[in-house]
Structure 1
Amino acid sequence: MTSPLPPQTPSPPGPFGPRYRALSLGVLLMVLLIAFESLAVATVLPVVARDLGGRELYGWAFSGFLLTNVVGTVTAGRVADQRGSVLPLLVGLALFALGLLVAGFAGSMAVLIVGRVLQGLGGGALMALAYVMIGRAYPETMRARMLALLSSAWVLPALVGPAVAGVLTDALGWRSVFLLLLPLVAVAATLTLPALRRLPAAGGRVDGGPIRDAILLATGSALLLSALTLVSRNPWGALALALPGVALMAWTARRVFPAGTLRARSGLGAGIAVRGLLAWGFFGAEAFLPLGLGELRGLTPTQAGLTLTLGALLWSLGSWTQARLDGRDRGYGRRRRVQLGMGLVLCAIILAALTVVWTALPVWAGALAWAIGGFGMGLAFPTNTLIVMDSAPPEQVGSVSGALQTADVLCSALSAGLGGALLALAAAQGWSEANGLALAFGGALLGGLLGPLAASRLPARPLSGNRAEPESVTAAH
């Protein structure tokens, strides 16, 4: 006679069980909206600039969003620690929605940039609060699943967002890319707020230092980018803005980034520098690729958006490839993979620039360029993150992770702003649009050229000491 089976313990409810379903859907919808908006603008902005004018402010549509995103992220996280998540969530949602409304009804490029600044503040706050909510509202057993879902909420807009934005622009006009999101913001608020009202405040003390540093870093960057935009019309005024801007950035950067970052010192400093240079090159060029393909090569927003989508698909393939290789060589090939990825990004920027300005090249070469660049980013971006995390002292992992994100956002903002300033300089000098776009791509190329030099200073092997050396490495040493 067989003994009866022990009663099965019911599996704990997942993130979409009755108790957590509304909050999970609200958090994911919130992140989807922010991801879509941050990725879709590159596709529609050429049409916006053609409609509103103000081409000299083109780069600010990216820089304004990114710089204020840092401020919103840091501030909301600190306020949530003291007062709970409800107040910063309401403010973040209101700012993001107001930014969509201002951008959607903008009558000039300057007003659109105001909308982008508001979107950046609100979006940064909401992204920080998404992680706060996962940490406070979900039990330990669900957090890993929610974090994985949060990552997926970024992947989907990266893959389809540019193409969807292009289709909306072709069918309904560029304003729809902003205005159609407003009802979804209200849905996200309705889903998340009831659950958050039941959570107690953490009662922590707000540390004003990180908030101050984020504001000063964003202010210094904005002053420098304003100087670059102004230099062709008022050199002395540009100098008056640039000097305090550079001083603020230099002083704050020493507080925000690990020692040796600005010099790409071997080890941790080089890892942070590589992250910034990767973002500088790839995202700086991506900001102007749809503009060049639309204005000089005649592509529609949908077609230009598909080019960016192809890059996102190959980024995913590159990430999968590096994960397989990392498991095979147990981390001993990481520096080579970062160098290879950065080399591919450099080639992609050059080919993309040539496709835009040299009509002898077929237009599909632009899509090929961004596929190459996307695969290079997939190889280098996560691999460099692994190197940095392996190099960070255990007690500094949190601050180093923050420095990585700040380097990413800051360098993307500076590169897009520099490209826009160079585009404005070319227009002020009466040069052709092709020459202006060549200069803009040249600004992004700085990251592609300096990146491999910084990557050569990354550790050649894992530093954590918890991996056995592969046989090939043991034999060589």
Structure 2
Amino acid sequence: MCLLVTLAAFEALAVTTIMPAVSHELDGAALYAFAFAGPLAVGVVGMVLAGTWCDRGNPRTVLYASVVLFAAGLTLAGASPTMPLFVIGRLVHGLGGGALTVALYVIVARVYPARLHPSIFAGFAAAWVVPSLIGPVIAGAVAETLGWRWVFLGVVALVFLAMLMVVPAMRGVHGPDHRPEGGGRELARVGLAVLVAVAVLGLTLAAEARGPVQWIVPVVAAVVAVAALRPLLPRGVLLARRGLPSVILVRSIVAGTFFSAEVYVPLMMVTQYGASPAIAGLALTAAGLSWAAASWAQGRFPAIGNRLAARLGALGLTIAIGSLLVTALTGASPIVIVVGWAFAGGGMGLLYPRLGVLTLQYSTPADQGFNSSALSIADSTGSAIALAATAIAFSALGGATSPVAFAGVFVVNAALCVAAWLCGPRILAR
């Protein structure tokens, strides 16, 4: 399972690193943000399907199906001659990736005792170490020599090698003792997930519109997305109620803050400082290493309680976003970007796995699939909506040629940091 996480981590870091080159070759600047937000949006559908499937059947089967979709999407993206086809490949990959996340969470809950959950999630985070060390640099070097397509096609081969190890190890994984009733309700949840995905995709595409449409469509899409999202999450998430609802909400906020900013880090280094893709990936490497180190620390030292982890996580993100904003406005050295973004990884490493552990602590065997699905849905939806908001600001302020546009992106991220500070302490039940 950690090997699958490693490959998913490599792919995520690689895409962020090489997307400026992909966009340039396929003339896809208009779909730049969509190529990131799209997989996250359709991933919500995969998460709901996987959560329902895991609660009613064997998560091992869900894992196998999600890996097939994951590999198929990577193959299509790597072979695409145009940007629209590349985006379609990303959407297929996102559907499989969303289901993969939920399947792994449920397998952990069914196989390992609760006392080992912090260590397991720390292991998942540690699986980002090697990709963080070499992933961005390798992806940039491959893009500059063999071409960016081999970044995707090479991962496909490694995924099938990983499955040779995974299949024998999954023989002991079983389904629930009692299958829940209510197939109509589950079908409705899938329909709502599709509606959320469509609304978020519309929200992202609105970034390239002009005139009143650029502002009317996002408002309507956001309202539809929130209305459809409510039944897919535990009650009280949107009200930041203490306990599980706030765990889900904070996961959405911090994921949105981190991933919507990370998309623009290599783009800013390439367009504003003339860095190569390999050099631009250094910031992602720094964040990945600090994320893994902080995740190891939170699993190793119990003194880092949940409340402290929430505060340190918000602090790390705030320092990082502040560094990016200052760099965009003043043209400071790109070293500030690399160092600042390392703080973002450290903050996420302390808080991210802790939220996964709390979700399982607040769950029962009957709702492990639903709650794990809700956590991943909030994660992806928050990131997709934040990406759409930053894309709108980026486009409205002039795009990649304007430093002010990057500053606008990081102002949106700063607002999300404020929300993380306000909601973080509420992850603890009374």
Q: TM-score range by the shorter chain?
A: 0.7 to 0.9
- Give yes or no for contact 1:311–1:373 (8 Å, CA) kept in 2: yes
> How far off is 1:286 after superposition?
0.8
| 1:220-279 per-position Cα deviation (integer Å, ceiling 9, x unaligned) | 354244245336635565677546633432333322333332132344433332222111
Provide the residue aligned with 2:35 in structure 1.
Answer: 61
Counterpart among 307, 320, 344 of residue 348 in structure 1: 320
Where does residue 173 of structure 1 map in the other structure? 147
Within 2, Cα distance between the matches of 1:218 and 1:447? Answer: 25
Q: Is the 8 A contact 1:275 1:404 kept in 2?
A: yes
Report if aligned partners of 1:351, 1:365 keep a CA contact under 8 Å in 2. yes
| Residues 93-143 of structure 1, C-alpha deviations (whole Å, 9 max, x = no match) | 44323312221122333221111101111223344445667788x899xx9
Instruction: Check whether the contact 2:98–2:376 (CA below 8 A) recurs between aligned residues.
Output: no
CA contact (8 A) 2:261 2:413 kept: yes
1:120 to 94, 97, 122: 94
User: Quick one: distance in 2 between partners of 1:147 and 1:311?
Assistant: 18
Counterpart Cα distance in 2 of 1:134 and 1:226 = 35
The alpha-carbon deviation at position 369 of structure 1 amounts to: 0.4
Offset at 1:341?
2.7
Find 2:333's aligned residue among 349, 362, 371.
Answer: 362
Equivalent residue runs for 1:18-57 within 5 Å: 29-57=3-31
Asked if 1:381 corresponds to 2:355, the answer is: no
Match of 2:404 in 1: 435
Q: Deviations over 1:374-407 (max 9, x none)?
A: 22223333455566666x3768873444433322
Q: Structure 1 residues 191 and 401 mapped into 2: Cα distance closer, same or farther (>3 Å)?
A: closer
Match of 1:406 among 377, 381, 388: 377
Q: How far off is 1:457 after superposition?
A: 4.2
Contact 2:243–2:426 under 8 Å retained in 1 = yes
Flag the 1:387–1:94 CA change in 2: closer, same or farther, 3 A.
Answer: closer
CA distance 1:212–1:353, shift in 2 (3 Å) = farther
Query: Of residues 267, 272, 276 in structure 2, which corresponds to 1:300?
Result: 276
Identify unmatched segments of 5+ residues in structure 2. Answer: none
| CA 1:282–1:147: 2 relative to 1, 3 Å | closer
Distance 1:246 1:322, change over 3 A: same
Which of the pair is proportionally richer in helix? 2
Q: Percent identity?
A: 31
Counterpart-to-counterpart distance in 1, 2:363 and 2:98: 27
Q: 1:229 to 1:323 in 2, by over 3 A?
A: same
Q: Tell whether the 8 Å contact from 1:74 to 1:211 is kept in structure 2 after alignment.
A: no
Report deviation, 1:81. Answer: 6.4
Relative distance call for 1:208 and 1:164 in structure 2 (3 A) is farther
| Superposed CA offset, 1:11-34 (max 9, x none) | xxxxxxxxxxxxxxxx55444333
| Greater RCO (Cα-Cα under 8 Å, separation 6 or more) | 2
Separation in 1, partners of 2:149, 2:96: 19
Displacement of 1:371 in angstroms is: 1.4
Alignment of 1:158-307 (within 5 A): 158-188=132-162, 204=179, 207=183, 209-210=185-186, 212-213=188-189, 215-217=191-193, 219-227=195-203, 229-230=205-206, 233-235=209-211, 237=213, 241-242=217-218, 245-307=221-283
Given the superposition, is the C-alpha separation of residues 173 and 357 from structure 1 closer, same or farther in structure 2, using an over 3 Å criterion?
farther
How many angstroms apart in 1 are the aligned matches of 2:226 and 2:47?
21
Give a deviation string over 1:152-197, Cα, whole Å, max 9, x none. 5444434433233223223322111112223234434556568879
For structure 1, the 5+ residue unaligned runs are: 1-26, 464-477
Matches of 1:128 and 1:433 in 2, distance apart?
39
Distance 1:49 1:335 in 2: 41
Q: Is the 8 A contact 2:41 2:381 kept in 1?
A: yes
- Report the Cα distance in structure 2 between the residues aligned to 1:214 and 1:117, rounded to whole angstroms: 17
Root-mean-square deviation (CA, aligned residues, Å) is 3.8
Larger radius of gyration: 1
TM-score, normalization by structure 1: 0.75
- Offset, 1:413: 1.7
Q: Look up the SS of the partner of 1:327 in the other structure.
A: coil
Deviations along 1:57-108, whole A, 9 cap, x unmatched? Answer: 2111111112222322332454466676787566534432331222112233
Conserved? CA contact 2:328–2:404, under 8 Å: no
- Counterpart residue type for residue 161 of structure 1: G
Structure 1 residues 209 and 240, CA gap change in structure 2 (3 angstroms) = farther
CA distance in 1, matches of 2:265, 2:209: 26
